[in-house]
Amino acid sequence: MPLYEFFCRDCNKYFEVLAAISKRDETHICAICGNKNIKRVMGKTKKITSKAEIFDYLTNPEAYSHLQNDNDADILLNMTKLAADSVGENIGEELKELAEEEKEREK
């Protein structure tokens, strides 16, 4: 079921409604103030990728063809970033610090 976004003209707040496509134009009430003075607005969209599709992508050598670097720590960091980006995650500062430490140790 799609998630629709609405704007309430009375309380000036946005809210979302999970509804069947056939019911998207039915009058909804504001989830915040309960009034019906609302307007459907364009919400965000995102492609949902299955875990199988992510695994297939990450195990495909072509996904890493652009990672041409002689430094093992850089390759590991770039591959981890690519994998994290594929599932919409932030790898965080801790991993970056570990990669920098490894670079220093390799010198």
Q: List pLDDT tens digits, range 64-98.
A: 666 555 566 667 677 777 777 766 676 666 667 77
- The 3-state DSSP class for residue 16 equals strand
- Residue ranges per domain, the chain? 3-41, 51-106
Alpha carbons 54 and 68: distance in angstroms, whole number:
22
Q: How far is CA 98 from CA 39, 77, 105, in A?
A: 49, 9, 11
CATH number given to 3-41: 2.20.28
The answer to pTM > 0.95 is no
Task: Identify which has the larger pLDDT, 7 or 23.
Answer: 7
